[in-house]
Homo-oligomer: A and B are copies of this chain.
């Protein structure tokens, strides 16, 4: 376990995600250790990766309406007419967390370096907009909350005409994991306990609301509800546990 987590952690370390100044950043900006190094090469060599959390033509009216609801609270206007940060913050989303893949020297069937370089985040691996997961996350630091607006496309089918239980679990892991990382720094999922209450029709837009339950040492406990956007229908309820992974924990076994 320690060796596997160690490899993952090295990836985080390369990008400085183990520092206290952790930010969710595109992979082309490469900080090293706790000191951020800005890449100063011409930008055409390192084009800005696509931020998948921005609206695209596949978004339906409900997805767009919910996005605008939270986006409008990311920057608010004071009485004096000045703009300032609001309670919510939109998190960008790319098709890979880090431009990095570990090389495994032995055991099992492992990917070639060429294929490793093609690795893509599971939730962003379909190129066709609207076909799979269309989602955007917002965090509220003061309320220790995270919300995700999800529009479920036609390639996520499980029961006929409805979203696969695994696709729902995938979004729950993504949202609670991002929230736990925001609260506690780099983490790994230790437990997901998901109660499925009501199936989600393909094509519908739902809301995932993630709340901090408590923090105990390395443990971050999160709860998450998936509901219709007006909150009237409960689709799933989840309790999740994440374990912090830090250099000191790894060194200490």
Contacts and interface: CB of A to CB of B under 8 A. Distances in A.
Interface of A: 1, 4-5, 7-8, 11-12, 60-63, 96-98, 100-102, 104, 107-111, 115-116, 118-123, 125-126, 132, 151, 154-167, 169-174, 177, 188-199, 201-205, 228-229
B97 A167 contact: no
A122 B196 contact: no
A154 B191 contact: no
Interface of A (DSSP majority class): mixed
Contacts of A98: 160
A152 to B, nearest CB: 9
Given A119-B154, A157-B119, A161-B11, A199 B205 contact: no
Contacts of A5: 199
Contacts of A123: 164, 166
From A192, A199, A228, residue with most partner B Cβ within 10 Å: A192
Nearest to A99: B160
A148 B100 CA distance: 29
8 contacts: A8-B162, A61-B109, A62-B109, A97-B158, A101-B157, A101-B202, A110-B203, A123-B164
A57 B108 CA distance: 17
A236 to B, nearest CB: 10
